[in-house]
Structure formats: C-alpha cells, structure tokens
Amino acid sequence: MAFFSIIITSHNQADFIRNAVASAAAQSHSKKEIIVVDDASSDGSQQILEEYGDAIRLTKLDKNVGASRARNVGTAVARGDFLVFLDGDDLLLPWALTVYNEVVEREQAHIILSTMRWFEGQIPNMSSDRVPDNIEVVAYDSLLEKDRPYRASASALVISRDVFNAVSGWTNEIFPMEDLDALIKLLSSGRTAQILAPATVCYRMHAANTIHQVANCAGALRWIIEKEKRRGYPGGQSNRGRRYAFLGGPALFWVKKACKSGLYWEALSLLAIAWPMILAAGLRRASVSMRGRRAVQTFALQLQITDIKGFTARDTAWCGFHRMYFVGCVRYPATGNWQRSF
C-alpha cells in the first residue's frame, strides 16, 4: 500500500481552504499525511488552519513566495512515497487516494495524470449513482508516449517523490503555467498512467483562477518555449520533436484564447515563437489517428467509503453527509468538536 503525502498550498483562500483540507482528511486510504503550506495569507486563513491541530502538518510562511515555491516547501518535508498536490481552492473526491493506490499497484506508475470535474458555485453533491465502480486507465512507458488529451493542473498530478526530486521539483521562477513546465521536466521520467475515469479532483471555477489571466499565461508559455529552445529540459535532442508536439497543444489553445480575449498582439507573439510546436502537435495527432491510441484498461474499484477512521454514524448524520459519499465536515483535534466544512 502506497504512502501518499497530500500537499495543499494556499494564499488568501479563507473562503475555500476548509473544503480542501476536509476533502483530504476524508480520504479512507489510511497511509497518508496532510501537509498544508500557507503562503503568507492575510485573510484569516492561518487561524482557520490552526484549528486542525495535529491532523495536518502546517507550515506558515512569513513572506508570500508564490505557488511553486510554496509547493516545494511542502515537498521538502513530505515523507510519502507519492506526492498529491492540491490547490487550496480545489477538492479531492472521496475515492481519490483509493484510485491512486490501485493504479500505483497495478501499473507500477511513477507519474499519474488524473481527471478533474469542474464546478462553479456550490460544491457538487455525491449520490449513490455517482460512486464509481471501475477505473479506466492508459499506461505508458513514459509521459512522452501520451496519446490522449490532458488538462494540466497541479491538482491533477500525482508523482513519485523520488522522481520529482530528481527533476528538482517545481520551477520557482515560473507562474502561471508551472504545471506545464513540470510535465515537460517529467516527460522522460518513467512509467506514467493516465486516469480517464473516474474523476478524482473537483476543480473550482472562480474569478481568481489563473485561466482568466490570459496575458500572463501566454507570457509564461513563451518563457517555457524559449527554455525548450535553449535545451533547458531533460530528454536530449532525440526527443526534441516529441517535446515540441507536447507543447503544441497548449500553445494553440492559448493563441486562440488570446484572440478571443482581444489580445491580438499576445496571440501573434505566441504564434511567432510556437508555430513549430503547433505543427509538430498536428503531425503527432495525425500519426496517432492512423495507428490508433493505446488501449484502455478497465478494472474494478473496490470502494470502502463508509469505512472512514474516526467517523461514526451519529457524527455523519449530524454533519448532513450525502450518504457518506462526500464527507462534509471534519473533527478539529484541538477542540474535539465537529464542524461543517462545506
């Protein structure tokens, strides 16, 4: 059974951080630790996190250092075999670690790409018809071989701690698009599994999401492309074409996004530097279409969502859980009290 370190990072997310921590605490997988790095919040987040006492390993930074550096702080103190990153405004679905453990054991994966469920406003309710019965996964010898779309996000990335340390973790100098940079660093880092179903993460849409920062994202992507052209990523010259193809999809997405946002200069600047990557991605897609994608493997998922250590029937009824399929509150060890978190 794999030991997972859930690393939650947050800056001024007092409205969301209880949800993120509660979703991590609710995981039925027993071998886990929850590390929370508060990136110098000034909105009361630190006081909220202190209520969890020994249930989490809390680091409070004195100076705002940004998401990448904050995640590296969490990585440095992690003890788990695998790192599960979670942004402070996102949520793990109740079966996330169970799914990850099954994939690790069956596929011997070093890297897991997970699927997200997007939501806006109220957190989705989990009912009996939403509980997954199977896992659908595609395994590759390396991330370079991935032949299916994937929406890059730190919250949808699970990595062997040893593998991530070998590529020096998150790049401190880049944000946003730091998740894409991390993936490119990991392209040649060993066996990779892409989970097609079920979703394991709820990605919260709100006004402060980086996806709305089109100019910043386009600029960060230009930085990544320039780094690739300087041969700044591992994998060697022989894999350069496949790295180009990997970058082409995101490049085309952000060119279109910039145009739709009226940022025509940003779009043209990105297209001018990224056109070889976009061409490589098109050729790669055509090649995959002709030879076919890697086969999907399906295996049964044995869930024990109701077997959550420390929770009783009376507690769950008081908290108004949705038949135990989504845990909605957590006990704060410092006070011994149950409080609603969603």
Domain assignments of the chain as residue spans, ordered by start: 4-210+292-340
Kindly report, residue by residue over 261-309, the tens digit of the pLDDT: 999 999 999 999 999 999 999 999 999 999 999 999 999 998 765 433 3
Question: Where does the pLDDT of residue 125 fall: very low under 50, low under 70, confident under 90, or very high at 90 and above?
Answer: confident
CA atoms of 140 and 243, how far apart (whole Å): 16
Q: Comparing C-alpha atoms, which of 258, 135, 252 is closest to residue 193?
A: 135
Q: What is the dihedral of CA 91, 95, 100, 106, to 10 degrees?
A: -160
Kindly report, residue by residue over 126-169, the tens digit of the pLDDT: 665 578 999 999 999 999 999 999 999 999 999 999 999 999 99
pLDDT of residue 1: 87
- Of residues 313 and 71, more confidence is placed in 71
Q: Rg of the Cα trace of the chain?
A: 20
pLDDT of residue 340: 37
Question: Where does the pLDDT of residue 318 fall: very low under 50, low under 70, confident under 90, or very high at 90 and above?
Answer: very low
Mean pLDDT, the chain, as a whole number?
89
What CATH class does 4-210+292-340 carry? alpha beta
pLDDT of residue 303: 78
pLDDT of residue 309: 37
Kindly report, residue by residue over 21-53, the tens digit of the pLDDT: 999 999 999 999 999 999 999 999 999 999 999
CA atoms of 235 and 215, how far apart (whole Å): 29
pLDDT of residue 304: 61
Residues 6+ apart with CB under 8 A from 271: 251, 255, 278
Residue 10: its H or E element: strand 4-10
Number of neighbours of residue 272 by Cβ within 10 angstroms: 9
pLDDT of residue 131: 85
pLDDT of residue 265: 97
Whether pTM exceeds 0.85: yes
Partner residues linked to 38 by β-bridges:
10, 60
CA atoms of 216 and 104, how far apart (whole Å): 35
3-state class of 148 per DSSP? coil
Residues 6+ apart with CB under 8 A from 142: 187, 188, 189, 190, 191, 192
